[in-house]
Structure formats: C-alpha cells, structure tokens
Amino acid sequence: MPDWSYHPLKKLLLNKLHAKTSREFLHKSMSTIASTPGGRSVIGFLGHMNPPRELQQNIYRTKFSSPVGLSGHIDPNMSGLNAFQELGFGFLEIGPIVLYGPSDKKEPKWEKGKLLFSNQQEKVPLKLVIKKLTRLNIRIPIIAKIDAQVTRNEWEIIVQHLTPYVDAFIGTPKQIHSYITNNRSQCLDRSFYMSFSPDELDNNNIQLIDLTQHSCIGGVVINAPRQTDGSYWYEATHAKELLTKTIKRVKALFPELIVITSGGVETPEDAFSLVRAGADLFMLTDGYVKAGPGLPKRIHERLLYEEIQPINNQNWYWSFLFGLSILIGGIIALYFAFTSIILPYDEAFIGLTKADILQVNPLILAFMSHDRMALAGTMISGGIIYIQLARHGIKYGMHWAKITFHSAAIIGFLGIFLFIGFGYFDWLHGLFWLVLLPIYYFSFREGKKIIDFPASSHGKNDRTWKLGLYGQLMFIILGFSIIVGGIVISIIGVTNVFITTDVSFLCMSPQMIDTLSNNLIPVIAHDRAGFGSALVSVGLLVLMLSLWGFRKGEHWIWNTLAIGALPAFIAGVGTHFYIGYTTFIHLLPVYFLIILYFTGLVLSYPFLRKK
C-alpha cells in the first residue's frame, strides 16, 4: 500500500478503527497479495522500493540490503512478515518472544494523533514464531527480541530453537551476560545485541566497557525514550535528539561497536540524523505508521543523496531520437487528419474515392478524421513524454525511467498487430514502425547499463508533501484510466468497431456502411485499434511516471505531465467539437480524465515545482 493510497485511506477509514484492527487489516492484506502468484511483482511495480546497492552493508557475516528495519512493536503477530521484505526494509525485528502465549495483553490505541502502546506489551509465543518462519520464504535478516521477563531456562530454549531461523538476538544485558557465561562455546553461531534506553546509559547502570570482552556481543540496541500515559506509553517528543546524543557518546567511546536504534524516526531527515550521528542500523516504530509504507524508500533516497558522486551522463541520444520520431510522426498524422483524411492506398483498398464517400455520407469521413486526429494527438503526447524521459531520466542513469520508457515502447510496437484485426494493414503505419525499429534497437542497447536509483534531499512530512501525494494519486488514476480506455477501444476496434453513439452520429448502421464497400469498416477498425493501442502505451507512460517519478522539486515531472497530456486532450476533445460529435455521454470519460489532470496539476504543483 503506497503512500498515495495509504494516507487517503488512513484519513477516511483507518484512523476511525481500533489501532489493532486497522493494523491487522493492512498487514494481512499486504501479506495476502505478496503470497499470491505475481503478488510480489505487483508490490514492486506499485512501489519500486528495492534498496539501492550503495546502502548495502555486511555486519558479522550477515548482509543488510538497507540500514532500515522494522520494529516488532509494529507487527507483533507477524501478520505482514511476508510483505514487509518487499517494502524496502533491510531487516525485521520479531518479538518480544516468550516460551508460551501470554495470558493477558492490551491492544495499542490511537489518542490525539498519537499511537499509544500498552505497558502490557503484545508478545509472541515461540510456537507461532517457528510456524511463521518455516512457512514463509524470508529473504532478509531476522532479529529476534526475547522478552525481558523470561527465565534463564526459557531464554536458552528460545535461543536454541530459533538459532536456525534468525540472524541475531536482542535481550537485556543481564539475560545475555548470563547466557554467554554458561554457553561460551555455543554463542558464536549468532550475534547478541544488548538493549538499553538512553536513561540506562546516562545513569551508568551498565558499563559499556564490558561489551568489548565478549566476542558474542554484536553491539547495542538503543531504544527511543518513552513517556507514560497511564498504562500506556509513547515515544518522547524529542526522541530523535536524545537518541542522537546517546549514539554520539557511545560511538566516541567505542567507534567499532555496532549501534542499532529503535524508534525516533518519523521522517527521512530523522533517519539521516541518526546515521550521521553513527547509527549502523535503525528500526522504525510508530513513525512508520504516521508517515506510511513509503518511508523506507524515502529514507533510502535521502541517505543516497549524501552518498552520490558527480553524475556521469549516460548515452541518451537514441532514446531522444525515438521520442522525437514519434512526435514528428504524430504531427504528420495530424496534418493528414485535417486535410486529405484518407490516402490513395486507403482509397484503393476501400474501392471508393474521397469524393464518392462525401457524396454518400460526409459524416463517414468526419468520423474517420476524428479517430485519426485522436491518434495523432496521442502520438504527440507520447513523443513528448519519451523525450522528457530521455533528457531527464535516462541521461542521468535512472533505472525507473529506463523501465518506464521501454515498457511503453514495447507495448506500442506490439500494437501494430491490432491494425490488422479486420484484415487491413496500413502501409504508412508499417513503414513508420520499420523506421522506428532500428532507432529503438539502439535506444534499448544504450539503456542496458542504466541501474542507478534516484536520490532526494527532501526529508520532511510537511503539508506540501501530503498535497503532493494526493496529486500523485490523481495522476495514477489518470494513467490507469487511460490504459483501461485504450484496452476497451482496442477491443471495440477488433470486434464491433462501432458503439451506439457512433451509429447515432453517422446516421447509418454498420450494415448500411458495409453495402457501400466491404472494406470500409476494416479501415475504420484499423484506426480505432491503432488509437486504442497508442492510448495503452501513453497510459503506461503516465502511470509509471506518476508511480516512480514523484519527488520534491522534480519540476520536469510536473512539466512533462502538464505539457505532455495537452496534445492528447486537445485532440481528443477538440476533434469531437470540430466534427460536431458532442454527445455528452460519449465525451464523459474524457471530461473525467481532464478533471483528474487539472486536479493533479494543482495539488502537485507546490511539491514538484518549488525547490
């Protein structure tokens, strides 16, 4: 569930439910999607959230693809474990784990915009943990937190049973010290992390010097300071600042010690502050619930912003030429749609000249003109978007821009097979694709080495960002709607060809048109199918551009959507008024798309256009 869907749903529904009810609904829904065939690909397509390779690190023989982890507080029942590894996390904490299920526990709750956790924390029995871990295909590290109240014997049983399934353990200093003292020869299989609060370190209750004496100790987990509210607790207001000071003090004394934090992160800037202070890994808690599932990805982009080297421009000229060719092809098609409408080879196939058709029913040529104008406008829009992706995405090595560019281009090429749905092959279209093929081949080759991830300096969860999410949602719906419309028009083009309002406008039934020439409807069908396939291609461009390109200050994204959509809308609406085909129900889908377009532009303007 990306942020652009999470926040509208959270505002309308989730905040009105019990915290546990909304949590389980989200986690089980995401986990169900991840478990179905193709579900992981769907999550990846919507979020594009894989961590960049620059953030990978190895700690004690364990590979962490990202320093961002998720605290066990967020998913104590492990309902969403299968989905979280698809959302960009580098590791997951589970627990606190007990040997047997607890007799009583209180659910978390929302109160005055805060997520309150019960002092009687939800705990996970060992049996459930083993059941989950054996059934799921977990591909990222798992760190098991053992409950502070378990006995020494229970601790040893839990560690013994979980060692094959987890990569590290978290416990209290007393628990870990007792275990490694009695199991010094066995504790080398997994690392152990001692859990502290900043107050415990400040009061010198635990001497950190002891940590360096045991090779089994992996490091420390510093928990965000808490404030109590009756039988509940929540993170302190200045948790991040206190964590930062504690990390600096620990790192100053023990530079090589691995430091993991839990909590204190609600924005990408918070995460960057902890990393800059010396945190090696950090776990998200209630900040993840407030910010949304896109927080790991945004943190990656903020951290990557500090890591990036001067950009070496990639080859992008063939991709630019491909977009330019489609743009020019659309302009040429628009010219013919306004002038001759049908070309000599069309007349030869139909068996009627333009004058003959005009004499019988001039509305037939007007109808054909409106399909060809709409196709031309769509091609021009597609060409503009391809050019912008080449200039601002592929040029700078953006992997998401390459995927967007080539996915839409391949779908566009495959659309040529729809042209012959009724037995008519447009030689001009065929020649156009033959010219494009070598250009696209070189464009595809120059994009093979493009693997970079985007970076962003934006680190706040401000109002501008939230407005941008709603604008992003509008454009995502727009792109998806265009794809659906293109599929419907393509199907109509290769089946019935006409809809009811078409017949009303022409004042002729398909049977009557067929009596004029058996080849007239195939020509019209080829126009419709071609227009439909072009819509699918452009819809993919808009959808993927909106899914993956929205970042603070990316003004070229706003410009591309604003300028790129205009030719298609102007041609789509203008041609209907030009020929007098203004039936409201026929144009209603286009009006809906225009509303989405303008609403998206207004809402996303502060986020994308302002620096």
Predicted confidence at residue 564, as pLDDT, reads 92
Return the SS3 of 472: helix
Between CA 510 and CA 324 the distance in angstroms is 38
pLDDT tops 80 at residue 153: yes
Amino acid 146: pLDDT: 92
Average pLDDT over residues 399-427: 81
Region 43-47 average pLDDT: 81
Domain coordinates of the chain in residue numbers?
A: 3-307, 317-448+462-609
Strand, helix or coil at 483? helix
Can the peptide bond before residue 8 be classed as cis, meaning omega within 30 degrees of 0?
Answer: no
CA 190 to chain CA centroid, Å, is 34
For residue 118, the cross-strand partners are 232
Q: Answer yes or no: is pLDDT of 477 > 90.
A: yes
Q: Which range has the worst mean pLDDT, 19-28, 221-230, 388-397?
A: 19-28
Q: How many residues does the chain have?
A: 611
Joined together, the tokens standing for residue 252 give 């100053």
pLDDT at 167 over 70: yes
pLDDT tens figures, 178-213: 777 776 555 657 788 988 888 777 655 455 666 656
Interval 150-163 mean pLDDT: 89
3-state secondary structure of 454: coil
pLDDT value for 312 = 62
Pick among 3.20.20.70, 3.40.50.620, 3.40.5.10, 3.40.630.10: CATH of 3-307: 3.20.20.70
pLDDT value at position 209? 63
pLDDT single digits (tens) 364-377: 999 999 888 999 99
Question: Average of pLDDT values for 34-56?
Answer: 84
Q: Is the pLDDT of residue 609 over 90?
A: no
pLDDT at 202: 61
Tell me the DSSP string of 359-421: HH-HHHHHHHHHHHHHHHHHHHHHHHHHHHHHHHTGGGTBHHHHHHHHHHHHHHHHGGGGGGT
Res. 380: pLDDT tops 90: yes
In this structure, is the dihedral angle defined by the CA atoms of residues 99, 104, 109 and 115, taken in order, positive or negative? negative
Question: Strands 142-146 and 91-98: what pairing?
Answer: parallel
Average pLDDT over residues 135-139: 86
Evaluated on CA atoms 5, 11, 16, 22, the torsion sign reads positive
3-state class of 237 per DSSP? coil
The pLDDT of residue 136 is 83
Write down the pLDDT at residue 497: 86
Residue 211 pLDDT: 60
Tokens of residue 318, six digits: 């063939």
pLDDT band per the 50, 70, 90 thresholds, residue 439: very high
Q: pTM for the full model?
A: 0.89
- 439, two tokens: 């250009």
pLDDT at 213: 66
Residue 47 predicted with pLDDT over 70: yes
Most confident of 2-11, 476-485, 489-498, 574-583: 476-485
Instruction: Tokens for 250, please give them.
Output: 């620990």
Q: Is the pLDDT of residue 67 over 60?
A: yes
Is residue 492 pLDDT above 90, yes or no? no
CA dihedral 229, 234, 237, 241 (to 10 degrees): 140
| pLDDT given at position 327 | 95
Task: Give the pLDDT of residue 383.
Answer: 95
pLDDT score of 163 more than 80: yes
pLDDT at res. 490: 87
Q: What is the pLDDT of residues 291-320, one digit of tens each?
A: 888 899 999 999 988 776 555 677 899 999
pLDDT at 567: 93
Give the pLDDT confidence score for residue 408 in this predicted structure. 93
User: What is the average per-residue pLDDT within 47-52?
Assistant: 84
Q: Considering the chain, what is the average pLDDT of its residues?
A: 86
> Tell me: the pLDDT tens digits for 541-589?
999 999 999 998 899 999 999 999 999 999 989 999 989 999 999 899 9
In which band, very low, low, confident or very high, does the pLDDT at 427 lie, cut at 50, 70 and 90? confident
**Per-residue pLDDT averaged across 73-97, rounded?**
88
According to the model, what pLDDT value does residue 24 have?
Answer: 80
Query: Which residues face 111 on adjacent strands?
Result: 114
- Own/partner pairs for 357-362, CB < 8 Å, 24+ apart? 357/516, 357/520, 360/516, 361/506, 361/507, 361/508
What pLDDT, on the 0 to 100 scale, is given for residue 183? 66
CA–CA separation, 403 vs 58, rounded Å? Answer: 29
The residue behind tokens 């504690």 is: 246
